[in-house]
Structure 1
Amino acid sequence: MATEIKVLLVDDEPLERQAIRFLLSRERPHYQVAAEAGNGIEAVELASVIKPDIVFLDIRMPGMDGLAAGREIRALLPEARLVFVSAYGEFDYAREAVSLGASKYLLKPMDGEEVIKLMDELAFYISAARRRRQETARLKEALEKMKPLIRLGFIMDLINGNITAGEAESRALFLGVTSLPRLALLVDIDNFANFAQDGAEIERQLLKQRVKECIEKAAATWPGALVAPVTGDEFAVLLPLERAGKEYDARRDAIRLGEAICRQVRRETGVTVTVGIGRPAESVTGLARSYAEAAAAAEFRLLYGGDQVIHADDVAARSRARRFLPDREEQELAQAIRMGDRELARRQAGRILMELTLEEERPSLLKMKILELVALAANAALEAGADAEAVSDLTLAASGEFLHLDNLADMRQRILERLMELVDQVATSREQRNSVLIERAGRFIEANFSRDLTLEEVAQQVYLSPCYFSRLFKQVKGQNFIDYLTRVRLRAAKELLLNTDLPVAAIAERVGYHDARYFGQVFKKQEGYTPGVYRKIGGAKFAGSTD
Structure 2
Amino acid sequence: MATDVKDVKILLVDDEPLERQAIRFLLARERPGYQVVGEAGNGVEAVNQASRLQPDIIFLDIKMPVMDGLAAGQEIRALLPEARLIFVTAYGEFDYAREAVSLGASKYLLKPVAGEEMLPLLDELAAGIAAARRRLQETTRLRAALEETKPFIRLGFIMDLINGNISEDEAVSRARFLGITALPRIALLMDIDNFVTLAREGTEVERQILKQQVKEVLEGATTSWPGALLAPVTRDEFVILLPLDHLPGGEASRRAVIELGDSICRQVRRDTRVTVTVGIGRPVEKVTELARSYAEAAAAAEFRLLYGGDQVIHADDVIARSNVEQLLQGPEEQELTQAIRMGDSQAAYERVNNILMQLFLEQEKRPAILKMKLLELNALTARAALEGGADADAVSNLALASSDEFLTLDNLADMRERILERLMALVGQVAETREQRNSSLIDRAGKYIEANFSQDLPLEEVAQQVYLSPCYFSRLFKQFKGLTFIDYLTRVRLKAAKELLLNTNLPVAEIAARVGYHDARYFGQVFKKQEGYTPSVFRKIGGANYGRSVS
TM-score interval, normalised by the smaller of the two chains: 0.5 to 0.7
**What displacement does 1:413 show?**
6.9
Alignment partner of 1:138 is 2:158:
no
Distance (whole Å) between structure 1 residues aligned to residue 361 and residue 334 of structure 2: 14
State the secondary structure of the residue aligned to 2:189.
strand
**What displacement does 1:35 show?**
2.0
**1:319–1:166 Cα change, 3 Å:** same
**What displacement does 1:213 show?**
1.5
- Is the Cα contact below 8 Å between 1:266 and 1:272 reproduced in 2? yes
Distance (whole Å) between structure 2 residues aligned to residue 178 and residue 241 of structure 1: 12
Equivalent position of 2:107 in the other structure: 104
Q: Which letter maps to 1:287?
A: L
State the secondary structure of the residue aligned to 1:222.
coil
Structure 2 counterpart of 1:7, from 7, 10, 17: 10
Alignment partner of 1:82 is 2:85:
yes
State the secondary structure of the residue aligned to 2:188.
strand
Distance (whole Å) between structure 2 residues aligned to residue 296 and residue 100 of structure 1: 68
- Is the Cα contact below 8 Å between 1:371 and 1:399 reproduced in 2? no
Structure 2 counterpart of 1:367, from 359, 372, 388: 372
- Give me the identity figure in percent: 64
State the secondary structure of the residue aligned to 1:44.
helix
- Is the Cα contact below 8 Å between 2:359 and 2:370 reproduced in 1? no
Structure 2 counterpart of 1:257, from 260, 266, 270: 260
The Cα offsets for residues 236-283 of structure 1, whole Å up to 9 and x where unpaired, read as 111111124589622222111111111111111131111111111111
Distance (whole Å) between structure 1 residues aligned to residue 113 and residue 35 of structure 2: 19
**What displacement does 1:152 show?**
0.8
**1:160–1:359 Cα change, 3 Å:** same
Distance (whole Å) between structure 2 residues aligned to residue 201 and residue 173 of structure 1: 37
Distance (whole Å) between structure 2 residues aligned to residue 247 and residue 290 of structure 1: 16
The Cα offsets for residues 207-244 of structure 1, whole Å up to 9 and x where unpaired, read as 11111121122222221111111221111111111124
- Is the Cα contact below 8 Å between 1:357 and 1:366 reproduced in 2? no
**1:321–1:305 Cα change, 3 Å:** farther
How large is the RMSD of aligned CA atoms in angstroms?
A: 3.7
State the secondary structure of the residue aligned to 1:230.
strand
**What displacement does 1:141 show?**
0.5
Alignment partner of 1:195 is 2:182:
no
Distance (whole Å) between structure 1 residues aligned to residue 167 and residue 212 of structure 2: 31
**What displacement does 1:392 show?**
8.3
**1:37–1:325 Cα change, 3 Å:** closer
**1:416–1:63 Cα change, 3 Å:** same
Equivalent position of 1:69 in the other structure: 72
Distance (whole Å) between structure 1 residues aligned to residue 162 and residue 238 of structure 2: 11
After TM superposition, the structure 1 = structure 2 runs for residues 45-194 of structure 1, keeping only pairs within 5 Å, are: 45-87=48-90, 89-194=92-197
The Cα offsets for residues 149-194 of structure 1, whole Å up to 9 and x where unpaired, read as 1111111111111111111111111111010111111111111111
Equivalent position of 1:464 in the other structure: none
Structure 1 counterpart of 2:404, from 384, 387, 400: 400
Distance (whole Å) between structure 2 residues aligned to residue 232 and residue 72 of structure 1: 61
Distance (whole Å) between structure 2 residues aligned to residue 276 and residue 394 of structure 1: 18
Distance (whole Å) between structure 1 residues aligned to residue 257 and residue 420 of structure 2: 42
Distance (whole Å) between structure 2 residues aligned to residue 351 and residue 246 of structure 1: 41
After TM superposition, the structure 1 = structure 2 runs for residues 10-29 of structure 1, keeping only pairs within 5 Å, are: 10-29=13-32
Q: Which letter maps to 1:257?
A: L
- Is the Cα contact below 8 Å between 1:172 and 1:180 reproduced in 2? yes
- Is the Cα contact below 8 Å between 2:218 and 2:264 reproduced in 1? yes
**1:362–1:117 Cα change, 3 Å:** farther
State the secondary structure of the residue aligned to 2:63.
coil
**1:168–1:120 Cα change, 3 Å:** same
State the secondary structure of the residue aligned to 2:191.
strand
Structure 2 counterpart of 1:207, from 207, 210, 228: 210
**1:37–1:398 Cα change, 3 Å:** same
Distance (whole Å) between structure 2 residues aligned to residue 422 and residue 162 of structure 1: 26
- Is the Cα contact below 8 Å between 2:12 and 2:40 reproduced in 1? yes
The Cα offsets for residues 102-123 of structure 1, whole Å up to 9 and x where unpaired, read as 1112221222111112112212
The Cα offsets for residues 33-61 of structure 1, whole Å up to 9 and x where unpaired, read as 22222222332232223221100011222
**What displacement does 1:144 show?**
0.8
Q: Which letter maps to 2:309?
A: G
Distance (whole Å) between structure 2 residues aligned to residue 363 and residue 139 of structure 1: 64
Structure 2 counterpart of 1:279, from 254, 264, 282: 282
After TM superposition, the structure 1 = structure 2 runs for residues 309-458 of structure 1, keeping only pairs within 5 Å, are: 309-315=312-318, 318-323=327-332, 355-360=358-363, 361=366, 363-364=368-369, 366-369=371-374, 372=377, 396=400, 399-400=403-404, 402-403=406-407, 410=410, 412=412, 415=415
Alignment partner of 1:228 is 2:231:
yes
Please identify the structure whose Cα radius of gyration is greater.
1
**1:419–1:366 Cα change, 3 Å:** closer
In the alignment of these two chains, the number of paired residues is 399
Equivalent position of 1:434 in the other structure: none
**What displacement does 1:398 show?**
5.3
State the secondary structure of the residue aligned to 1:228.
strand
**What displacement does 1:64 show?**
2.6
Q: Which letter maps to 2:225?
A: W
